[in-house]
Every structure is written in structure tokens, then in C-alpha cells.
Amino acid sequence: MVKIAAIFGTRPDTIKMAPVLSALQSHPREFRLITIATAQHRQMLDQVLDIFKIKVNYDLNIMRPRQPISHVVMSALDKLDASFRKIMPDMVLVQGDTSTTFVGSLAAFYHKIPVGHIEAGLRTDDKYRPFPEEINRRLTSSLADLHFAPTQTARQALLSENVPEEKIFLTGNTVIDALLATVKERPRFKDPFLETLTGECRRSKKPIILITCHRRENWGKPMQQVCNAIKKLSDRYRDVIFIFPVHLNPVVREVVFPILGGLDNVILIEPLEYESFVNLMNQSRFVLTDSGGVQEEAPALGKPVLVLREVTERPEAVEAGTVKLVGLEERKIFAEVSRLLDSSAAYQRMATATNPYGDGKAAWRIVEILRRHFGLRKRRVPEFRAG
């Protein structure tokens, strides 16, 4: 039996890992799955574990208030090293670009354990944007043995860095697997306030704009610019409801609440668990975000995305037309949001663009590739084809 250790630590990487865990568990005679949570984001992680019914075998619980990245790295490395000494898996799976991803790969390398990297090959070519994710993913690529690339662009990035072609597999993104299994046509929100609010918006036909903004490189003045733009938009578009689940990080909240608190049509709420968040996204007119995962999820639901960043490691949806980079300058954000609210033609062009990120079968492909890698399957696995 092949022993696979899957490592995750934040809400986004756990969401994307969840379909792979489920697919591995469907082969109990071939794989022994061991789950390791660094708990880099404790509260947000726990919500996802409950939704996807993930049982954690090793909970490293490294989160501390306001801890710097260096402490995350040192603590995770120390505890993963000890865990691997006990487990000694045949392969380690990591997802995406978090500090947990990089440290999990590094700890595996120190024990000469092969690494499979899910969502490999994303690049901005700017080491500080996003920070520290761009370097996390590059370092992970240098340590990985199997590279599960979500898109053709990601595969080409890996090839340009001299990753052997036979080690790269085009799978699509597992976030689409998780999304399609979770979104409902007529959801019921657990939060009574949110259930009432979305119901009233449907009946009155008031559009909802969903907002997220929390990335480290946007802290301080850039986030102030975002909030100032939202404040002006809320004054001009009184019939639009702006819903902003505010990240738990005090650095974010200390900016958002003083600027946007108390505005009638700006609803500041606590972070939503995954099921509520994606169903709220499906109820929204469009999304204003600095998130990487939302750039992949929203296009699958036909929702335009205005990205609060200067660069993105997910250029496919920008090229397809469903995502647009609007930067972090107040006037530009105001103008681009206004354009989508004022012009039905501009909105339709973005809403009907093709989603290039997945077909809901990425996790199946990854597990079948692992089966072939370990001699449990003979035939090659069909690759993901966008469009």
C-alpha cells in the first residue's frame, strides 16, 4: 500500500486539496492517506475541515497572533520534520503557494521523500507580487518531483524553467471540482442575516457586489485606496449592496472598519465559511477581489471579476475576458466598477467569457496519475482541455 501524506494549512489550500483527499480515499486498498494540517490559519481552516468532512491525523497548530512569516516557516519546518520521522510516507502532496506549501516540500526534501505539487507553475515574474507566494511557488517547483499544472500557461512556465516535460501533468484546477460540488441554485445561508439580506436583494432586484481584500502586499495605503473607492461607489449607487466579508487579520480590519463602517449599503460581515462564500458569490452581480482563488472560481459561475492587483499569476481569464486587473488606485477602481454597473454590454462581455480553469475532474486526474506513477495503472491519463 502506498503511503501518501497530504499537507495543508490555510482555507484556500485546504479547499483545493479536499477533492484530492476524497479521490484518494476512493482507493483504500491502494493508498493510505495521512493528513497533516499546519493550521497556518486556524479558524478559517477549521470551517473548511467541517464542510468537507476532513479528518486530520496530525494537527501542528502553528498559528500565533500577528506572527511574522519567519516564525510560520520555522515552526512548520520543525514540526513537519518530526512528523515525517514518524510517518515516512512514500510521497508528500502539497497545494498551491502558501508558506505551508514551501515548508512541506522542504521538509520532505530533507527526508528524501518525493513531492507532488498541486497547482504548479503559476507565475507573475515579480518576486514581491504576490508576497510571499511567488517565491513560495518557485521554491516548491525546485523541490517537487511531480508537477500538476492547472493550465497550459502554467505548464509552459514550468517548461521554461527546465522542469522535465515528463514530470508535468495538465490536470485543470481542483478548485473547480470543489466549487461545482458546493454551489446550489437556491442556497439557504446558515447566517439568518445573510439569508434575509440575499432574499431581499432577489425580490427587489438590487445587485450585490462581493468584495474581498486582504493580501499582504495590499496592506496599508493600497487597502485605504480600495476602501475609499468603495465608499464613493456606495454613495453614487445607493441601490447596490456591497458585501465585504472582512478578513480576521487586525491589519486589515484596522483599515476597513474606520472607512466603511456605518454606511447603509456597505455590509461588513465576518469571514464566511466556504459553502456560504461561494453561494454568495453565485448570488452576486460581480466580484471585486485581490484573491487568487476567486479569479478561478467566479468565471466558472459566469461572474465578472475586477482584480485589486497590478499583476496576476492567473492570466488565462484575463485573456479570456472574464477577469480584469484594475490595480489599487482609487480613481481606477471607481471607474471600472462604474463601467460594469452602467453598461450592460460591458457586463455581458465579461459574464459570458469562457472559464479556462477546469472541468470538475482535476482531482480524478491527479489520483490516476499517482496510480500510474506507483505502478497501479498502466494507461496514460487524459489531460485537461480548456474550452
Pairwise CA distance, residues 352 & 304, whole Å: 9
Q: Of these residues, 42, 111, 216, 349, which one is catalytic?
A: 216
Q: Of these residues, 11, 13, 41, 97, which one is catalytic?
A: 97
Segment 219-227 shows an average pLDDT of 96
Q: Which band of pLDDT confidence, cut at 50, 70 and 90, is reported for residue 387? A: low
Higher pLDDT, 94 or 387: 94
Segment 78-99 shows an average pLDDT of 96
pLDDT digits (tens, 9 = 90+) for 318-374: 998 999 999 999 999 999 999 999 999 999 999 987 778 999 999 999 999 999 999
pLDDT digits (tens, 9 = 90+) for 246-277: 998 899 999 999 999 999 999 999 999 889 99
214 is a catalytic site residue: yes
- 325 - beta bridge partners? 307
117 is a catalytic site residue: no
Q: Of these residues, 11, 117, 133, 371, which one is catalytic?
A: 133
> Cis ω on the peptide bond leading into residue 89 (within 30° of 0)?
no
Q: Of these residues, 11, 247, 314, 365, which one is catalytic?
A: 247
Q: Which band of pLDDT confidence, cut at 50, 70 and 90, is reported for residue 220? A: very high
pLDDT at 43: 67
For residue 235, pLDDT over 70 is answered with: yes
**Cα 324 off chain centre by:** 17
Domains of the chain as residue ranges with CATH: 2-173+358-373 (3.40.50.2000), 191-351 (3.40.50.2000)
pLDDT digits (tens, 9 = 90+) for 106-165: 999 999 999 999 999 999 999 998 899 999 999 999 999 999 999 999 999 999 999 999
For residue 243, pLDDT over 70 is answered with: yes
pLDDT digits (tens, 9 = 90+) for 166-193: 999 999 999 999 999 999 988 999 899 9
**Helix (H), strand (E), coil (C) string for the chain:** CEEEEEEECCHHHHHHHHHHHHHHHCCCCCEEEEEEECCCCHHHHHHHHHHHCCCCCEECCCCCCCCCHHHHHHHHHHHHHHHHHHHCCCEEEEECCCHHHHHHHHHHHHCCCCEEEECCCCCCCCCCCCCCHHHHHHHHHHHCCEEEECCHHHHHHHHHCCCCHHHEEECCCHHHHHHHHHCCCCCCCCCHHHHHHHHHHHHHCCCEEEEECCCHHHCCHHHHHHHHHHHHHHHHCCCCEEEEECCCCHHHHHHHHHHHCCCCCEEEECCCCHHHHHHHHHHCCEEEECCHHHHHHHHHCCCCEEECCCCCCCHHHHHHCCEEECCCCHHHHHHHHHHHHHCHHHHHHHHCCCCCCCCCCHHHHHHHHHHHHCCCCCCCCCCCCCC
Q: Of these residues, 11, 155, 214, 215, which one is catalytic?
A: 214
216 is a catalytic site residue: yes
The pTM score is 0.85
Q: Of these residues, 11, 13, 117, 119, which one is catalytic?
A: 119
For residue 204, pLDDT over 70 is answered with: yes
pLDDT at 41: 65
